[in-house]
Chains A and B, each alone.
Chain A
Amino acid sequence: MNASYLLRRVGYGLILMLCVVILNFLLIRLAPGDPAVVIAGEMGGATEEMLESIRQEYGLNEPVITQLAIYIGNVLRGDLGESFFFNQPVATLIAARIGPTILLVIVAQLLSIFIGVVLGVLAARKPNGLMSAFVSVFATIGYAVPVFWTGIMLIILFASVLPIFPVEGMQSVRLRDAGPITQALDIAHHLILPAFTLAIIYLAQYARLSRASMLEVLGSDYIRTARAKGASQRSVLFKHALRNAALPILTVAGLQFGNLISGALLVETVFNWPGMGRLAFDSILRRDYPTIMGVLFFASAMVVVANLLTDLSYRLADPRLRGKS
């Protein structure tokens, strides 16, 4: 890998983000509804003069192309603008919510990889056994069921019928003055349902992928050798086979990051999780253009960076790819 390759990849990433910004900007403005009317509605009504002054204040009177040029200029200067609704900088709103989103996405990612791989390995042990059939069926269902439906079902089951998990939010308000360990446990308790909901889709994919990958590796000569040397089944599966079978799983994990973020947007809405997804959802309903743009910009930046890192790490791991552009 050389510097010019890296620069080219970063350059592609920046061009992609610029395209994302332009596309998002135009798409949002295609939606019917005037933000000034929404703000006036939130205020309980307004006069025509007030509507006009709102439009002027937020630059909504300018032609769309001028608005777009101003927006791109501001973004290049690191200014994501101010929320129409909250009158606060979009960066402040996002900063308050990016932590919960990253926490949710990372925990869901780890959960899905861990459980998915364990299930995949167990299934690969006996490809025609009961466990293997279960993993195949579970994977198909897990992938097919919409994430919001899973969330609602889990809420009904574990928060209403058998109330052992909190139904919404990230923290119990009554514990906000408690010590850090209690608060951390409280957050973990709130995290279980949303993280599991988000993990289910990807868990199913990892289970199938690791099953296939393991089956391929288990047929290799070195596995036969390990068995011939008297290694235990557990040692063969987890120490010898899984290490080699893990490479495609890790690659997919990096590429799935973008999907996890989009999944998180839905899960956050279902579980009232105070992350960027809920902010995006509410902002769309309010036609809060700067906030929608800010969240989309941040989410796309995260995806571009994750893909770039995956690509680079893959090239580091596999020397055969280094010479290719």
Chain B
Amino acid sequence: MKLVTRLMGAAVIAASAMTATPIWAEGGTLVIASTQVPRHLNGAVQSGTATAVPSTQIFASPLRYDENWEPQPYLAESWSTSDDGLTVTLNLVQGATFHDGQPITSEDVAFSLMTTKENHPFKSMFAPVESIDTPDAQTVVINLSQPHPALLLALSPALAPVLPKHIYGDGQDVKSHPRNTTDVVGSGPFMVEEFTAGEATVLKKNPNFFIEGRPKLDEIIIRIVKDPSALLIAMENGDADLYPFMAGSQEIRRLEKADHLALTDQGYAGVGPINWLAFNTKSEKLSDVRVRQAIAYAVDRDFITKALHRGVSQIQRGPIIESSPFFTADVETYDTDLDRAKALLTEAGYGDGMELTIDYIPGPKEQQQSVAEYMKSQLGKIGIDVTVRAAPDFPTWAGRVGGHDFEMTMDIVFNWGDPVIGVHRTYLCSNIRQGVIWSNTQQYCNEEVDKLLNAAAVELDPAKRKELYTEFQKILAQDVPLYTINALPYHTAYDKRLQNVPTGIWGTMHPMDMVEWSE
């Protein structure tokens, strides 16, 4: 028994030694914890936050954006658009190099933009780019088939990483290129030291970064912790310093209580994450706009945001995120009115009630399953018997919705900055695509809407563009192909000693070259 006692004693001593303040250089390392698993690190061929957070540290882009939606110099020190809007010229900084020491030239930028155009799922970002000229090493001339006001925003770090042509131009498929995961050579403030699929990404400071005195941090480690509860404990215990894209109200309320942590909901305007109830407008019952309107009148957004989401999420009254300059509140907002909802149903011939099913994305329970279950009880009040159809996992849900095999579904869709990139895809008649999720799965088609969206896509005058989008939002509010409920309550939790945590429109999908530890 003495041996057992000794072993236990040694274990306790070892445990207490390991739980003491760990060895780490003050000011040196930032540990980001995330539940999202990146497939690889190349944001030119992959959208999504999981890849964008590391990719924006590894790869620089022509421009970056501030919190007021204004473009700022990055690899391009200046830029100009021709009067007809058909040519955009970028002037690159001198002396910028890739992590392997090769100079970053206009050839690399041209190659990167064309690679992104061909391989990135957001086809609308660079669709009007016809060709790119490189008259000299520092000048990039982008030739467009039509004016493209979304172009500058699409040149952000999250959407247009500048890749080394001497590596990715070797003829291999860029989507599955081995250098997306091993020996990654980038152009940004941090270099890849280690990428362990599904586990962690370790980034080291780029000592030759083209912006003098940056980055401030020596190292960024992005750790994947799939279980949100474990992630919370890691944040509370100081094992992780920054947790972006946190959307659970319980998580938010819990971390608010940690003295050493600060929380912010800034930094998600660009992502524009919207939680909505979508209708299959081709289904027999929901093809009648009065039924869709009735459902919209029955839903109480206030209850969802205040009770189900404990007050952490904001109401979203249309297809464009409310923090965008193109949003308008001047539309029918469907304040809860059960009598009107019942009247509309009666008018549509469903006065005796009807049956509908609702699907939801498995995973983000509070935003999806809870709201779907609320719909069942709430719509029951106007005589709609709702069956909540659970999916065991994401592929099952995606198969149903992508295959148009649904009546109503909860869904989460991102705006991705400019409406051309993230909004148009949900409503254009041409984007009704069988088997493709996050296309126009509602199968909604309105020629007037198509005309407005196509005009807004080429309108360079911001005021006129806003008018077009206002008109679009008004029509949509009448047609209700989907009913927007709330903006996802994304928050970033971080150690209070961290300075300059990115809170611009792209949040942590933005170079963290200014982030540093305070004394």
Contact = CB atoms under 8 A, between A and B. Distances in A.
B4 to A, nearest CB: 8
B226 A86 contact: no
A70 to B, nearest CB: 18
A262 interface: no
B227 A87 contact: no
B234 A44 contact: no
A278 B199 CA distance: 10
B399 A48 contact: no
Given A88-B181, A168-B230, A173 B395 contact: no
A168 B234 contact: yes
A45 interface: yes
A282 B395 contact: no
A40 B438 CA distance: 10
Contacts, number: 169
B307 interface: no
A272 B230 contact: yes
Contacts of B14: 185, 188-189
A311 interface: no
Contact of B225 (A168, A182, A284): A168
A186 B18 contact: yes
A86 B121 contact: no
Contact of A87 (B40, B225, B398): B40
Contacts of A175: 22-23
A47 B47 contact: no
A50 B29 contact: no
A85 interface: yes
A115 to B, nearest CB: 9
Interface string B412-452: 00100000000001000000011111110000000000000
A79 interface: no
Contacts of B121: 40, 43-47, 50
A131 to B, nearest CB: 13
Nearest to A118: B4
Nearest to B50: A42
B48 A42 contact: yes
22 contacts: A31-B395, A33-B399, A37-B402, A40-B121, A41-B398, A44-B122, A47-B121, A51-B436, A86-B197, A87-B175, A155-B233, A168-B233, A173-B29, A173-B31, A173-B239, A174-B24, A175-B23, A185-B14, A189-B18, A274-B198, A282-B226, A286-B395
Interface of B: 4, 11, 14-19, 22-24, 29, 31, 37, 39-40, 45-48, 50, 121-123, 175-176, 180-181, 196-200, 202, 221, 223, 225-227, 229-230, 233-234, 237, 239, 393-396, 398-399, 402, 414, 425, 433-439
Q: 6 closest A-B pairs (Cβ-Cβ)?
A: A33-B395, A44-B47, A168-B230, A45-B438, A189-B18, A174-B22
Interface of A: 31-35, 37-38, 40-48, 50-51, 57, 83, 85-88, 93, 96, 118, 155, 159-160, 163-169, 172-176, 178, 182, 185-186, 188-189, 192, 269-272, 274, 278-279, 282, 284-287
Given A34-B395, A42-B48, A174-B22, 4 more contacts: A32-B399, A37-B395, A45-B425, A48-B434
